[in-house]
């Protein structure tokens, strides 16, 4: 294909260095990603319009059966209100649920001309750890997410609004938040997505993006260093 006929790349591919931000929230049976059950996963795929503004595109949710031998802390179940054994959950095995979450994300990465998804979460390390522990446990090799990089909205909200709690940060950002619906993976993921999009879009409106053009040669050196780091940390 010649340069003249080549289709323009999606604007998202130029915003986060070729990464597609996908907002993830998990509900679990405890705090230990290795031993405690993964019970719900929600993923909100984001998109970007031609003017460079982020917005939610679609939400995917899976209710997950506890894996064999999984630990379930009663305090965690009381907090989330989840009954792991309720037939109304329509839960599926862990491998099936993760595969159903990962499939549309891989499709979206391609549609946005990106090279990989990057997990966005509120206290993102928690969600990243559980997602990757489950993928490793189920030997899922086509994990679309970056193995260690994340965007943490608790940190971003602390910078933008001076508060790190999701409900309070949303309130300060003008995003409605219903505490009675919280601790559902889908609800929390969508509110986190709205918060992330709002911060990124506000930064753009304030003139923070795009950044100043780097000196000649600096950009190539940085790209090479980052690619080397990613390759050394790539897993499964």
Residues recognised as catalytic: 183
Query: Do residues 22 and 105 touch, judged by C-beta distance below 8 A?
Result: yes
Q: Count of CB atoms within 10 A of residue 57's CB?
A: 16
Query: Do residues 23 and 46 touch, judged by C-beta distance below 8 A?
Result: yes
List strands edge to edge, sheet with 19-28: 54-63, 38-48, 19-28, 116-121, 145-152
91, 92, 94, 87: which is closest to 69 by C-alpha?
A: 94
Helix (H, G, I), strand (E, B) or coil at 77: helix
Residue by residue, DSSP assigns 95-140 as HHHHHHHHHHHHHHHHHTT-SEEEEEETTHHHHHHHHHHHHHHTT-
Query: Do residues 5 and 102 touch, judged by C-beta distance below 8 A?
Result: no
Cross-strand bridge partners of residue 27: 40
Q: What are the DSSP E strand ranges found in 29-112?
A: 38-48, 54-63
Phi, psi of 149 (to 5 degrees): -80, 140
């Amino acid at each position: 294909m010649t340069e003249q006929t080549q289709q323009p790349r999606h604007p998202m591919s130029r915003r986060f260095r070729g990464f597609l931000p996908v907002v993830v929230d998990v509900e679990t049976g405890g705090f230990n990603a290795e031993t405690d059950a993964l019970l719900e996963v929600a993923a909100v795929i984001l998109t970007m319009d031609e003017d460079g503004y982020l917005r939610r595109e679609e939400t995917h949710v899976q209710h997950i059966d506890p894996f064999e031998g999984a630990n379930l802390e009663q305090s965690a179940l009381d907090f989330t209100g989840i009954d792991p054994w309720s037939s109304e959950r329509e839960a599926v095995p862990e491998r099936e649920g993760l595969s159903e979450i990962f499939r549309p994300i891989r499709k979206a990465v391609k549609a946005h001309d990106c090279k990989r998804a990057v997990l966005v979460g509120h206290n993102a390390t928690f969600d990243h750890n559980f997602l990757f522990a489950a993928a490793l446990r189920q030997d899922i090799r086509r994990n679309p997410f970056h193995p260690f990089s994340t965007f943490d909205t608790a940190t971003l909200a602390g910078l933008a609004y001076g508060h790190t709690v999701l409900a309070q940060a949303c309130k300060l950002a003008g995003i409605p938040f219903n505490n009675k619906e919280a601790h559902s993976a889908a609800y929390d993921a969508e509110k986190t997505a709205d918060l992330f999009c709002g911060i990124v879009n506000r930064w753009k409106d304030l003139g923070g993006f795009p950044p100043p053009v780097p000196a000649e040669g600096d950009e190539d050196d940085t790209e090479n260093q980052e690619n080397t780091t990613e390759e050394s940390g790539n897993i499964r």
